[in-house]
């Protein structure tokens, strides 16, 4: 046989050996030990467990054990549970469409058995004398060997996975060291525990309890999982129900932020997913309160009607398709923005680098007391720390996570999964005089560095950024009273039917921006006037008009912000006393004392700050 004949024969189509096919399929589901943890915890939650315990050794390479007190399995269930496409979650195609469980593919245990040694002991909680009351045990491995026998077991199920990838040394070489794999396992454990605060979770490394999460509120669960968060305040839980979905958001005060998206997390139907559109929605809601490049700290929990969501996209269920993405996007922006607008505080900045971190206790004027900073505080940056002094319909958290039912994190700082830390600003103190601020007499002391207006307000000094204050005032005026400019040559463009519907719904909003738009023929539109000062191309305007999301509001905000910035007084511009005092008075009346880009208009120094700075007793 010549070489050509051999090559032709090797390229002929053949059905793979079942063991090879199992390993290929397992590679899609099981990428590393954390993948096994994800699948096993999903099974435990689906089994109705009230307690889930995870134990690992050697980063999960030597041992992964997940124990639950759920419904358990009988001998017959145990016999087939590790076979391909064996599941108790669905029976038909219709069940797949309406599935509410975390798992449904029937691939997890089969995939685990294809790459590791699998041992399962289980006992049904409602077992009677006529059944195997001592429970049952199943052992399987990559060779497909099965051993099933009666064995003592507590109610529920315990799954042990040993020697991960022992049959695939090449795959094992691509794993990271045990320490790195442990961090990935802990991240997965937290991702699974966060959406289910009503359940109890424990995480062991070897015989050492690293993280205990008792049943708690959603905010308490988040604090227990992320002890680097401030010890009190700053987190609030918001909620809203709309047709087809329910939204819960645990959102942080704008004074708490990061420069990465590690703590901007999206969960849909109990799964953490990579949904960038919803992360953008959160960031958009915070835009008036955070400068560009700063990422808010928020957790979004969505429960979506199964008929409107499809998780059957990625074997690890990291991706999702949604039929109501636009409505959810709008709800996220609306809920967070409404809360921020009703609770906007007055920003302030602390003094010395060595000053103590504030306690964040609600107060009209808060003073920093000597205290130790929270663990991992270096991973956050502190912009301001205001808390609303008024009543709110949302739940305000004012508890230390260690008081939340005894939740404790006994791991070391090195055990915490993390990205590269960011350096913290100086600790923050907040001056919040309350709503009577605008009626309080102030004393204008003069300009500093040609940038700041120095004001005395009681026993507090305020440094107002004159450009930012004027920019904010002009921005508000432009938005309240927009002007338009007629086009010498009107611009026409065509739309698809769905784009036409969006434009019709948005026309009132466009008119408020100073944009004149009319439909000259079906699906053909004409722009006859644009906001005064508009400098972008017609193409960019048409893109905004037909965009899938309501980003025209953002475009309008950016346009007004640019105009206000150009017209506002600049650094170094001299203001006479009357002009400066009028600017100060109007600034102190603002509900949201930030420039259109999210920067604070001033910072505050109290008499106590100054005394502490020079070591004097106040």
For residue 432, pLDDT beyond 50: no
Same domain, 318 and 455: no
Residue 347, pLDDT score: 39
Residue 217, pLDDT score: 95
10 domain residue, yes or no = no
Residue 28, pLDDT score: 55
169 domain residue, yes or no = yes
Are residues 6 and 94 in contact, defined by beta-carbon separation less than 8 angstroms?
no
| Residue range 283-307, pLDDT digits in tens | 989 988 887 778 899 999 999 988 8
Q: What is the CA radius of gyration of the chain?
A: 30
Are residues 248 and 266 in contact, defined by beta-carbon separation less than 8 angstroms?
no
Q: Can you give the three-state secondary structure of 62-126, one letter per residue?
A: CEEEEEECCCCCCHHHHHHCCCCCCCCCCCCHHHHHCCCCCCCCCCHHHHHHHHCEEEEEEECCC
Same domain, 198 and 239: no
Residue 422, pLDDT score: 35
In the listed set 213, 248, 276, which residue is the last one of a domain according to the structure?
213
CA geometry: angle at 47 spanning 45 and 52, to 5°? 45
Are residues 218 and 251 in contact, defined by beta-carbon separation less than 8 angstroms?
no
428 domain residue, yes or no = no
Residue 165, pLDDT score: 85
Stretch 464-490: mean pLDDT, rounded? 84
Residue 538, pLDDT score: 65
CATH number of the domain where residue 23 is located:
3.30.565.10
| Residue range 34-45, pLDDT digits in tens | 999 998 999 899
**Arithmetic mean of pLDDT over the chain:** 74
CATH number of the domain where residue 242 is located:
3.30.230.10
207 domain residue, yes or no = yes
Greatest pairwise CA separation for the chain in angstroms: 102
What are the structure tokens assigned to 152, written together? Answer: 């003592």
For residue 90, pLDDT beyond 80: no
| Residue range 109-130, pLDDT digits in tens | 778 888 889 999 999 876 554 5
Query: What percent of the chain has pLDDT above 90?
Result: 26
Q: How many helices (H) and strands (E) does the chain have?
A: 17, 27
61: left (phi over 0), alpha (psi -120 to 50) or beta: alpha
CA geometry: angle at 33 spanning 28 and 37, to 5°? 90
What is the band of 69 on the pLDDT scale with cuts at 50, 70, 90? very high
C-beta neighbour count of 51 within 10 angstroms: 16
For residue 597, pLDDT beyond 90: no
Residue 22, pLDDT score: 54
| Residue range 208-256, pLDDT digits in tens | 999 999 999 999 999 999 988 876 668 899 999 999 999 999 999 887 8
What is the band of 591 on the pLDDT scale with cuts at 50, 70, 90? confident
Residue 272, pLDDT score: 92
Choose the most confident range, by mean pLDDT, from 23-32, 508-517, 585-594: 585-594
What is the β-pairing status of strands 443-448 and 200-205?
unpaired
Q: Which residues contact 164 (CB under 8 A, 6 or more apart)?
A: 30, 33, 36, 60, 61, 64, 115, 116, 172
Residue 63, pLDDT score: 95
| Residue range 507-539, pLDDT digits in tens | 777 776 777 888 888 888 888 887 776 656 666
Stretch 350-355: mean pLDDT, rounded? 29
Number of domains present in the structure of the chain: 3
CATH number of the domain where residue 472 is located:
3.30.1540.20
| Burial class, 318, CB count within 10 angstroms (exposed 0-12 / middle 13-18 / buried 19+) | middle
Lowest-confidence region among 126-130, 310-314, 587-591: 126-130
Query: What percent of the chain has pLDDT above 70?
Result: 67
For residue 392, pLDDT beyond 50: no
Are residues 426 and 353 in contact, defined by beta-carbon separation less than 8 angstroms?
yes
Same domain, 33 and 89: yes
The better pLDDT of the pair 333, 3 is held by: 333
For residue 140, pLDDT beyond 90: no
In the listed set 162, 184, 213, which residue is the last one of a domain according to the structure?
213
The better pLDDT of the pair 617, 220 is held by: 220
36 domain residue, yes or no = yes
What does the DSSP assignment read for 4-51? Answer: HHHHHHHTS--PPPHHHHHHHHHHHH-SSHHHHHHHHHHHHHHTT-SE
Residue 334, pLDDT score: 92
Same domain, 120 and 244: no
What range defines the domain where residue 485 resides? 436-618
For residue 345, pLDDT beyond 70: no
What span, in angstroms and rounded, lies between the C-alpha atoms of 30 and 176?
15
What span, in angstroms and rounded, lies between the C-alpha atoms of 540 and 226?
42
Same domain, 26 and 150: yes
In the listed set 189, 213, 237, which residue is the last one of a domain according to the structure?
213
What span, in angstroms and rounded, lies between the C-alpha atoms of 188 and 118?
20
CA geometry: angle at 261 spanning 203 and 58, to 5°? 30
Same domain, 315 and 170: no
Same domain, 200 and 234: no
Same domain, 170 and 187: yes
**Residue 452, SS3 per DSSP:** strand
Question: Which residue, chain included where needed, has tokens 């669905």?
Answer: 90
Lowest-confidence region among 83-97, 170-184, 204-218: 83-97
Residue 344, pLDDT score: 61
Same domain, 565 and 602: yes
What is the β-pairing status of strands 117-123 and 136-140?
antiparallel
For residue 470, pLDDT beyond 70: yes
Same domain, 268 and 371: yes
Same domain, 28 and 154: yes
Residue 350, pLDDT score: 29
Element (H, E) at 477: helix 466-480
What span, in angstroms and rounded, lies between the C-alpha atoms of 326 and 139?
47
| Burial class, 257, CB count within 10 angstroms (exposed 0-12 / middle 13-18 / buried 19+) | buried
What span, in angstroms and rounded, lies between the C-alpha atoms of 581 and 559?
28
| Burial class, 37, CB count within 10 angstroms (exposed 0-12 / middle 13-18 / buried 19+) | buried
Same domain, 191 and 225: no
12 domain residue, yes or no = no
What are the structure tokens assigned to 468, written together? Answer: 């930012």
> What size, in residues, is the chain?
618
What span, in angstroms and rounded, lies between the C-alpha atoms of 267 and 234?
21
Are residues 42 and 192 in contact, defined by beta-carbon separation less than 8 angstroms?
yes
The better pLDDT of the pair 598, 540 is held by: 598
CB-facing half-sphere around the CA of 388: CA atoms within 13 A = 21
In DSSP terms, which residues pair with 582 in a beta bridge?
none
Are residues 113 and 84 in contact, defined by beta-carbon separation less than 8 angstroms?
no
442 domain residue, yes or no = yes
Residue 371, pLDDT score: 34
Choose the most confident range, by mean pLDDT, from 102-111, 342-351, 401-410, 583-592: 583-592
For residue 415, pLDDT beyond 50: no
Cα→Cα distances 107→33, 39, 81, 416, Å: 16, 9, 9, 30
Stretch 438-446: mean pLDDT, rounded? 76
Stretch 390-413: mean pLDDT, rounded? 37
545 domain residue, yes or no = yes
The better pLDDT of the pair 119, 144 is held by: 119
Are residues 108 and 43 in contact, defined by beta-carbon separation less than 8 angstroms?
yes
Q: Can you give the three-state secondary structure of 306-369, one letter per residue?
A: HHHEECCCCCCCCCCEECCHHHHHHHHHHHHHHHHHHCCCCCCCCCCCCCCCCCCCCCCECCCC
């Amino acid at each position: 046989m010549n070489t050509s004949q051999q090559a032709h024969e090797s390229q002929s189509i053949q059905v793979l050996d079942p063991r090879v096919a199992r390993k290929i399929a397992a590679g899609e589901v099981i990428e590393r030990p954390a993948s096994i943890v994800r699948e096993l915890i999903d099974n435990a939650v689906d089994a109705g467990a009230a307690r889930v315990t995870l134990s690992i050794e050697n980063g999960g390479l030597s041992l992964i054990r997940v124990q639950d007190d759920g419904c358990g399995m009988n001998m017959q269930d145990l016999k087939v549970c590790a076979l391909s496409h064996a599941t108790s979650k669905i029976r038909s195609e219709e069940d797949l469409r309406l599935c509410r469980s975390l798992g449904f593919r029937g691939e997890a245990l089969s995939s685990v058995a294809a790459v590791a040694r699998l041992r399962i002991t289980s006992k049904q909680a409602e077992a009677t004398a006529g059944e195997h009351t001592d429970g049952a045990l199943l052992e399987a491995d990559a060779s497909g060997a099965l051993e099933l026998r009666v064995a003592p077991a507590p109610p529920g199920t315990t799954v042990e996975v040993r020697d991960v990838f022992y049959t695939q040394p090449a795959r094992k070489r691509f794993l990271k060291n045990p320490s790195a794999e442990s961090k990935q396992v802990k991240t997965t454990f937290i991702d699974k525990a966060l959406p289910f605060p009503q359940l109890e979770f424990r995480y062991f490394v070897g015989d050492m309890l690293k993280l205990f999460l008792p049943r708690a509120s959603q905010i308490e669960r988040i604090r227990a999982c992320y002890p680097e968060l401030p010890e009190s305040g700053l987190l609030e839980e918001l909620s809203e129900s709309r047709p087809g979905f329910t939204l819960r958001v645990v959102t942080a005060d704008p004074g708490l932020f990061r420069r990465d998206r590690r703590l901007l997390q999206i969960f849909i139907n109990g799964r953490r997913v990579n949904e960038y559109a919803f992360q953008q929605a959160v960031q958009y809601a915070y835009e008036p309160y955070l400068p560009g490049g700063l990422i808010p700290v928020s957790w979004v929990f969505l429960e979506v009607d199964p008929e409107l969501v499809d998780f059957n996209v990625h074997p690890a269920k990291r991706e999702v398709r949604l039929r109501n993405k636009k409505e959810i996007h709008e709800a996220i922006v609306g809920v967070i923005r409404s809360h921020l607008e009703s609770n906007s505080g007055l920003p302030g900045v602390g003094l010395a680098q060595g000053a103590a971190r504030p306690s964040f206790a609600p107060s009209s004027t808060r003073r920093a007391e000597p205290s130790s900073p929270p663990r991992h505080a270096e991973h956050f940056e502190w912009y301001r720390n205001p808390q609303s002094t008024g009543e709110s319909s949302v739940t305000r958290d004012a508890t230390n996570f260690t008081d939340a039912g005894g939740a404790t994190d006994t791991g070391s700082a090195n055990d915490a999964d993390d990205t590269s830390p960011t350096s913290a600003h100086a600790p923050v103190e907040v001056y919040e005089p309350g709503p009577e601020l605008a009626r309080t007499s102030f004393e204008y002391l003069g300009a500093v560095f040609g940038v700041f207006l120095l004001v005395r307000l009681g026993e507090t000094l305020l440094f107002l950024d004159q450009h930012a204050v004027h920019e904010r005032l002009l921005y508000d005026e432009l938005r309240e009273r927009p002007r338009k400019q007629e086009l010498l040559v009107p611009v026409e463009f065509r739309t698809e039917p769905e784009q036409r519907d969006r434009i019709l719904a948005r026309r009132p909003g466009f008119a408020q921006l100073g944009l004149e738009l009319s439909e000259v023929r079906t699906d053909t539109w004409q722009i006859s006037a644009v906001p005064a000062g508009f400098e972008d191309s017609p193409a960019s305007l048409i893109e905004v008009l037909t965009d899938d999301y309501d980003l025209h509001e953002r475009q309008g905000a950016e346009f007004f912000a640019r105009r206000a910035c150009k017209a506002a007084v600049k650094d170094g511009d001299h203001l006479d006393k009357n002009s400066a005092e009028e600017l100060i008075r109007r600034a102190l009346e603002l509900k949201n004392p930030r420039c259109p880009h999210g920067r604070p208009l001033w910072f505050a120094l109290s008499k106590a700050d100054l005394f502490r700075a020079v070591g004097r007793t106040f």
